[in-house]
Amino acid sequence: MSSRTALKRLMTEYKELTVNAPDGITAGPISGPEDTPYEGGLFTAVIVFPKDYPLSPPTMKFTTDIYHPNVYKDGNVCISILHAPGDDPNQYESASERWSPVQSVEKILLSVVSMLAEPNDESGANIEASKMWRSNRKQFDAIVHDCVKRSLGI
């Protein structure tokens, strides 16, 4: 796929997101989902698209401090939809859960909002956050609330 075709697709997806954005998604920060410890937070992220998009998945990295089982300490997001297409070499994910060219930026963002609401602590990128999510939810929530405050500049 040529870079011109990839750019055309990205512009189409961007236009759709700006005109008909799903709840909690804007061409700006991701809003913390309601009824979660992330509620009220505004979390910025960068999505980097490879030259062969949509054949290969983009990468996503939060630029706002966020504490989450599926986000590495450096902000990189670890969710199935952003993993390379095909079978998982670790046999944890099915190929249908991983990236495919039919996925879109909207689906990525919706998956991230869902991830914020329901972390996958079985496949943690941040092991400390995964353990705390399971064993000490009160402390986990307190750390996340601090992240929410910092995301708002408080």
Residue positions annotated with a catalytic role: 78
CA–CA separation, 71 vs 130, rounded Å? 10
Taking a C-beta distance cutoff of 8 angstroms, is the pair 2, 51 a contact?
no
Encoded tokens for 69: 């089982």
37 Cβ contact partners less than 8 Å away, ≥ 6 residues apart: 140, 141, 144, 145, 148
User: Helices 127-135 and 137-151 meet at what angle, rounded to 10?
Assistant: 120
Helix (H, G, I), strand (E, B) or coil at 48: strand
**CA-based nearest residue to 31, from 112, 107, 118:** 112
Rg (CA), the chain: 16
